[in-house]
Amino acid sequence: MPEPSRRITGIIPSGKDGWEVHFAALTRKQAGEDILMLSVGDHDFDSPAETVAACVEAVTGGAHHYVQLPGLPRLRSGMARLSTECTCVETLPEEVIVTQGGQGALFAACQAVLDPGTHAVILSPYYATYPGTVRAAGASFTEVETLAENGFEPDPAAIAAALRPETRMILINSPNNPTGAVYSRATLECIADLCRRHDLWLVSDEVYWTLASGREHVSPRALAGMKERTLVVNSLSKSHGMTGWRVGWLTGPSEIIRHLTSLNLVSSYGMNEFVSQAAIAAVENGHGVADIASRYDTRRQSFLNALHGVNGVTVRGSEGGMYVMLDISQVEPDCEAFAWGLLEGERVAVLPGTSFGSAARGHVRISMCQEEDVLHDAALRLRRYIAARRGG
């Protein structure tokens, strides 16, 4: 066949994305093995019944047609209200575009501000799709590591040192996936100052903003001079229990949103109508939001209590989101080897930290997307595995 484009083959140039442990565990679980799946960030419960009912009503009521490219007006209005709440900045509907999940919003943001030959700075650990999404825009990037011993709080001086003349964008994520770190206001003020002084875009992934239970969530969009240079990635997946529905949105200056409407014209051609109607019901009524936030806060604390006192393990970050980050380097410096060993020895699937960038080496990410009894069982198996590794 003819050669594929370098744009496509360069998204994941190594062909390895760090999720090999998860897919091996999933295959074994589907074959009937007793595998505890703590590797993926997908809710173990269904979407709220009210949201599902709204979708069924929309389907049976004839909502089968094209919608406006930036999204249904009522949905954009609802998402503008959520953005106002999330960022503490008054947001208009024309400053919002509906996307196919948070990943669609991230893709749109990178396409909006990066050109081939430009450069981005990505803070590590990061959500696994960040590098490929930047590469898909034809840009290069520098990975700036946050330090585990600092709770994965970014160092503005390290970010400044990574900037180049061709840098166009800094990409951050707070509350962070995978670490659960919630960046402080002081740190975000320093990052905002870099953006203002170097005329940079700041793309802020705030998908987990409703799950920031351990610390105040601060959106950089609210800081002085940042509304016009910040793009906020958001989604209903985590906050409203709608992972498989693929509904997200991007908030930014209205001029950028107008350009991204043109991107929708040649990519998705807009959203699904009956899913959009269900999303309206979810957004306007807050279906599931308080319950989901409370559920994950309880699970996180319960799991950490069950692991308390395990020798050789340190909890890092873990102030928000749906995950717990464990430093297991004293047990096994190679976190990928630890994850494979835990799967083989105790049939528990977790993700090695290196799936999310080099800053998370020596760590594993534990998903809280299981009931408390499963998490307690997983903590017991982790204790047993670590004790065996340490000869105790």
The reply to whether 214 and 361 lie within a common domain is: no
Residue 387 maps to a domain: no
The reply to whether 277 and 294 lie within a common domain is: no
* DSSP state letter for 170: E
CB atoms within 10 A of CB 164: 13
The reply to whether 297 and 219 lie within a common domain is: no
Last residue of a domain, one of 285, 313, 336: 285
What is the model's pLDDT at position 318? 82
Strands of the chain (E only): list them.
36-37, 96-99, 119-124, 140-145, 167-173, 201-205, 230-235, 248-251, 314-316, 323-327, 348-349, 351-352, 363-367
pLDDT in tens, 136-169: 999 999 999 999 999 999 999 999 999 999 999 9
Banded pLDDT at 392 (limits 50, 70, 90): low
The CA distance from 166 to 296, in Å, is 41
pLDDT in tens, 225-235: 999 999 999 99
End-to-end CA distance of the chain: 57
Token couple for 380? 């017991």
Pairing of strands 230-235, 167-173: unpaired
Residue 347 maps to a domain: yes
What is the model's pLDDT at position 17? 59
The reply to whether 276 and 321 lie within a common domain is: no
What is the model's pLDDT at position 19? 81
What's the whole-model pTM score?
0.94
The reply to whether 249 and 360 lie within a common domain is: no
- Cα torsion through 154, 155, 156, 159, rounded to 10: -80
**Paired strand residues for 202:** 170, 230
Domain span at residue 275 reads 65-285
Please say if the pLDDT value at position 15 is more than 90.
Answer: no
Last residue of a domain, one of 285, 313, 348: 285
Higher pLDDT, 214 or 99: 99
Please say if the pLDDT value at position 365 is more than 70.
Answer: yes
What is the model's pLDDT at position 6? 85
pLDDT in tens, 271-302: 999 999 999 999 999 999 999 999 999 999 99
- Per-residue pLDDT averaged across 316-341, rounded? 92
What is the model's pLDDT at position 14? 63
What CATH number did the domain enclosing 322 receive? 3.90.1150.10
Q: Taking Cα atoms as reference points, which of 214, 366, 385 lies closest to residue 310? A: 385
What is the model's pLDDT at position 18? 66
Work out how many domains the chain is built from and give that number: 2
What CATH number did the domain enclosing 229 receive? 3.40.640.10
The reply to whether 33 and 126 lie within a common domain is: no
Last residue of a domain, one of 285, 314, 345: 285
What is the model's pLDDT at position 214? 67
